[in-house]
Chain A
Amino acid sequence: MNEPKPFDPAAIERLLKLGGPKFTLEMIDLFGSYGGKKIAEARSAQQAGQLAALAEAAHPLKSSAGNVGAVRVQELAAQVELSAREQKAEMAGAQLDDLEHAFAEAKIFLDAERKRLAPSPG
């Protein structure tokens, strides 16, 4: 079976159609800053053993990631949230490692999209 794609370029096309390049760039940037903040909150909560806070941090990442097509981040955020809610601390921790990795990859993908969409200087 094929691995699901980590990114869905159609999501960026949907944003473009919805609000144009400026809006799409804003959403990409917002995902970078807001997503980074939530990942950091998730890590702090995990290190402190606060599973409810970990689930709460992972939850909004899920749908936010879906809006920019970061499919792998979306899936892993859902897994972290579920494991945390089910009190599976060890599993949630391992999934959070993967989530951090997927988020870093998503940022690389989105940076490339950013370059494609940003007006070239001059």
Chain B
Amino acid sequence: MNTTTENPQPSTTKPVRILVAEDSPLNQQVALKQLEKLGYAADAAGDGDQAVAAHARKPYDIILMDCQMPGISGYEATWQIRNREQEKAGTADAGKRVYIIAMTANTQADNREKCTAAGMDGFINKPVQLAELEAALLHALADQAAAKELDAVIDPVIIAGLHQLRTPGKPDPVAELIDLFLREAPAQLDTMSDAVAKNDFTSLSRTLSAATALKGSASNLGARNLAALCAEIEMTAKTWILSDTPPLIERAREEFSRVRTALQRIRGG
């Protein structure tokens, strides 16, 4: 049975797609009214199954998820949503990661560690207060904006693919690759700069091999722009136009700085 309430979004509301998953009709109505007051239109789902089904139909930006609901719980619903996002990563059907805010009563059975383990991103106490809700939404939107910036530097599909290589009990391959990359990339950039300054045949060959190596490792981690710059450096070295190389190396250094920040964020999160 599908009893998700989908509310049309009036033109005056903020363009954020929100789903409220809450079994208590009273809490659900209060949450919808609070969202309306804050300028957001939202849909509602009455249990975990409905929340999972609604997420499959519509690319929500944020889900406000009650933890304990009849049928499948908010934890289980979140786990299913995260699994589906993971399965779709890298396919044409891949959507963006929905930000899930747990609405928690913060009791023994309803705790924040469980929320995080299930894949939830934020928390809000019940009964939900307007100011707390607004703060949680602003935090979610800021996180999503930061994620968008990060996506422009590192291809999230590549990272999702690498995460799938993880084996229980073994070190995280993403963390290992990031550490290796962050150790080697500065030296490769220095090699290019030093070699170009000398401007002879040996230098050319060293520039070429450093650019090729950095292009490969950047591609492996989804650092598209950096890989593209390395490909350009490779090209200039292959065609003996080393005079064009220093500005490219400078741009590669600047891009590496953005990549490093993004990778450190991925590694930390």
A and B from one assembly? yes
Residue in chain A with minimal CB distance to B37: A18
Interface size class of A (residues with CB under 8 A): 20 to 34
Interface of A is mostly: helix
Q: Contacts A18-B130, A82-B108, A85-B109 given: A60-B24 contact, CB under 8 Å?
A: yes
Pick from A14, A27, A55: contact of B26, CB below 8 A.
A27
Contact B107 A63 (CB under 8 A): no
Residues of A within 8 A of B109 (CB): 55, 59, 81, 85
B45 to chain A, nearest CB (A): 15
Residues of B within 8 A of A15 (CB): 30
Q: Determine if A42 is an interface residue (Cβ-Cβ < 8 Å).
A: no
Q: Determine if A7 is an interface residue (Cβ-Cβ < 8 Å).
A: no
B233 to chain A, nearest CB (A): 59
Contact A68 B26 (CB under 8 A): yes
Cα distance A62–B37 in the bound complex, in angstroms? 24
Interface of B is mostly: loop
Q: Contacts A30-B25, A66-B126, A67-B127 given: A85-B105 contact, CB under 8 Å?
A: no
A32 to chain B, nearest CB (A): 10
Residues of A within 8 A of B130 (CB): 14, 18
Q: What per-residue 1/0 map shows which CB atoms of A25-38 lie under 8 Å from chain B?
A: 01100110010000
Residues of A within 8 A of B70 (CB): 56
A-B contact count (CB 8 A): 59
Residues of B within 8 A of A34 (CB): 24-26
Pick from B26, B27, B107: contact of A82, CB below 8 A.
B107
Contact B26 A85 (CB under 8 A): no
Residue in chain A with minimal CB distance to B125: A63
In chain A, residues 46-66, which have Cβ atoms closer than 8 Å to a Cβ of chain B? Answer: 55-56, 59-60, 62-64, 66
Q: Determine if B33 is an interface residue (Cβ-Cβ < 8 Å).
A: yes
Cα distance A66–B132 in the bound complex, in angstroms? 15
Cα distance A46–B25 in the bound complex, in angstroms? 23
Pick from A27, A59, A68: contact of B68, CB below 8 A.
A59
B116 to chain A, nearest CB (A): 21
A7 to chain B, nearest CB (A): 14
Residue in chain A with minimal CB distance to B129: A14
Cα distance A56–B105 in the bound complex, in angstroms? 13
Cα distance A31–B30 in the bound complex, in angstroms? 12
A116 to chain B, nearest CB (A): 19
Contact B26 A64 (CB under 8 A): yes
Q: Determine if B217 is an interface residue (Cβ-Cβ < 8 Å).
A: no
Contact A64 B27 (CB under 8 A): yes
Instruction: Return 18 A-B CB contacts under 8 Å, by A number.
Output: A14-B129, A15-B30, A19-B33, A23-B29, A27-B29, A31-B26, A55-B109, A59-B68, A59-B105, A59-B109, A60-B27, A64-B24, A64-B27, A67-B26, A67-B30, A68-B26, A82-B108, A85-B109
- Measured CB to CB, the residues of A under 8 A from B are 14-15, 18-19, 23, 26-27, 30-31, 34, 55-56, 59-60, 62-64, 66-68, 78, 81-82, 85
14 more CB-based (< 8 A) A-B contacts, given A62-B105, A67-B27, A67-B127: A18-B33, A18-B37, A18-B130, A19-B37, A30-B25, A30-B26, A30-B29, A34-B26, A59-B105, A60-B68, A63-B24, A64-B27, A66-B127, A68-B26
